[in-house]
Structure 1
Amino acid sequence: MKRFVSVMIIIAAVLSVMAGCSSGKSPEKKNDTLVIGIDDKFAPMGFRDKNNNIVGFDIDMAKAAAKKMGKKVKFQPIDWSTKEQELNSGRIDLIWNGYTITPERKKKVLFTKPYLKNSQVVVTLADSKITKLSDLQGKVVGLQSLSSAADALDANPIKSKIKKVTEYSDNVQALNDLKTGRLDAVVIDEVVINYYMTKEKNTFKVLKESLAPEKYGVGVKKGNTELLKELQKAMDEMNKDGTSAKISKKWFGANKVLD
């Protein structure tokens, strides 16, 4: 009988080890690496350079934070329209790429303190006759799907007067359609269009009236308060020791990081 029990214990132990291996990812590896979900076409926050390397303001910020946390970092390009699902499924640990803090998103994820201000603005071609929001009446407007740009437009009375709103998987496609004349205007993050305007001079103009001010934060899975606390500590240290300011000056030419 004792021999039988011993054999059963051994079998149970072997099955347990096999189950752990079948997951394909050891606990040590998961705890040691932060998998960060990004939109890799969201310059200057996170995008691919001419060598196809993922770079950007948020990329540098995430790397610096991970270093302070004693962790490795892996950037995982995702479909931005499914970002919360990716986070809650466990496929990514953080959403960190120009992720706007909104009341609706607070119901789905935990947020760090805001670290950067932004606004949703309307951009047109430089020679466009559109000069104010009311000029969008009867026009075709583009924006990134399931983004805060959509929320900002929905909240503005001009939305009901627009002829058509076309949604895109990323801002690059929307801006390309603006340049080819398929769109009359694009609703986009101010930090994003400011970057493109430095790269493509005299191509775009931004209306003086913005749709909505907002702030960026890092998204953490609901219930994972330990990771949130650890990350926030690292980000606070980056503000104090000048790391955040240095990264901001690299990408924006000035320190725009919120304390």
Structure 2
Amino acid sequence: MSDLELIQPGTLVLCSTDIAAPPMTSVVDGVRLGFEPDLGRALANHLGLELQWVDVRRWADFVPTLTELRCDAILCNQAITPDRQKVVDFTIPYGRFNEGVVVRTDSPINSAADLVGRKVGAITGTTNIALAASFAGAEVIEFGASDDAFHEMADAAVDGTIDAFVDDEIVLPTLEATGTLRVAFIAPTRNPYGVAVRKESAALRTALNGAIQHLIADGTLLEIWHDNFPGKAFRL
């Protein structure tokens, strides 16, 4: 794999985050857990590479971390969108994910129609902000300046600063477990997630595509999915 032009020969450096968002990703006692960490380990293993993680906390910093050669690829909730494809390249999808709207447990909001005149939060630069903007009559409140916009947004919903917020469906059960928030409804957006690489990293993209295809074919990706998302249908 010496032709992959990795920033560290023999090592795949993946950009992720240490912000707790289980079961997608989290770091507990120094151990990285969740669907994407498991996928990252499987990809590196298939390619015969060591694995290293670089953590990013602000969403806007992911692409700069990649383009400034501080990682080889981004494996962290990256939906494949036309705007992002102008800046980076993506592998084939490793899963498709819906989005959800979260409210306080005592909120009367249960549908998009209930968001008229409401403040709806989402993180800047994500597909979530695009979905929030699609709700007619809602006022979009952007988050992303802090090192933990996800939990800042959840706190804002709890204290009433915002009425609702949008995030990826797969990370929402953890918020519901707090007892203060609930999922009002799910938007079936089925966003395809891929590994993002630099435009000039064609060889790495090809290698990662081959690895993902192998993990699909031998059932490893399905196993990783069910280990982390039991009861959720696997979508590609």
The TM-score bracket by the shorter chain reads: 0.7 to 0.9
Deviation at 1:226, TM superposition (A): 0.5
User: What does residue 26 of structure 2 align with?
Assistant: 47
Name segments (4+ residues, structure 1) moved above 6 Å.
Answer: none
In the alignment, structure 1 residue 177 sits paired with structure 2 residue 156: yes
Name the CA distance, whole Å, in 2 between partners of 1:165 and 1:210. 19
User: What does residue 223 of structure 1 align with?
Assistant: 200
In the alignment, structure 1 residue 246 sits paired with structure 2 residue 223: yes
**As a proportion of its length, which structure holds more helix?**
1
Moved more, 81-90 or 135-144: 135-144
In the alignment, structure 1 residue 65 sits paired with structure 2 residue 43: yes
Deviation at 1:211, TM superposition (A): 7.2
| 2:187 alignment partner, SS class | coil
Q: Among 19, 23, 34, which residue is 1:56 paired with?
A: 34
Name the CA distance, whole Å, in 2 between partners of 1:183 and 1:28. 43
| 1:35 alignment partner, SS class | strand
Give runs of aligned pairs for residues 133-152 of structure 1, distance below 5 A. Answer: 133-152=112-131
User: What does residue 92 of structure 1 align with?
Assistant: 71
Deviation at 1:255, TM superposition (A): 6.8
In the alignment, structure 1 residue 37 sits paired with structure 2 residue 15: yes
Q: Give 5+ residue unaligned stretches, structure 2.
A: none
Name the CA distance, whole Å, in 1 between partners of 2:186 and 2:23. 22
TM-score, with length taken from structure 2? 0.87
| 2:9 alignment partner, SS class | helix
Name the CA distance, whole Å, in 2 between partners of 1:142 and 1:211. 18
Name the CA distance, whole Å, in 2 between partners of 1:189 and 1:181. 21
Please, what is the CA RMSD of the aligned residues?
2.2
Whether the 8 Å CA contact 2:103–2:182 is kept in 1: the answer is yes
The percentage of counterpart residues that share the same residue type is 26
TM-score, with length taken from structure 1? 0.79
Name the CA distance, whole Å, in 2 between partners of 1:212 and 1:76. 29
Deviation at 1:256, TM superposition (A): 4.4
Deviation at 1:128, TM superposition (A): 0.5
Name the CA distance, whole Å, in 2 between partners of 1:55 and 1:208. 27
Name the CA distance, whole Å, in 1 between partners of 2:209 and 2:140. 41
**The structure with more radius of gyration:** 1
Aligned length: 227
| 1:253 alignment partner, SS class | coil
| 2:8 alignment partner, SS class | helix
In the alignment, structure 1 residue 167 sits paired with structure 2 residue 143: yes
Name the CA distance, whole Å, in 2 between partners of 1:257 and 1:210. 17
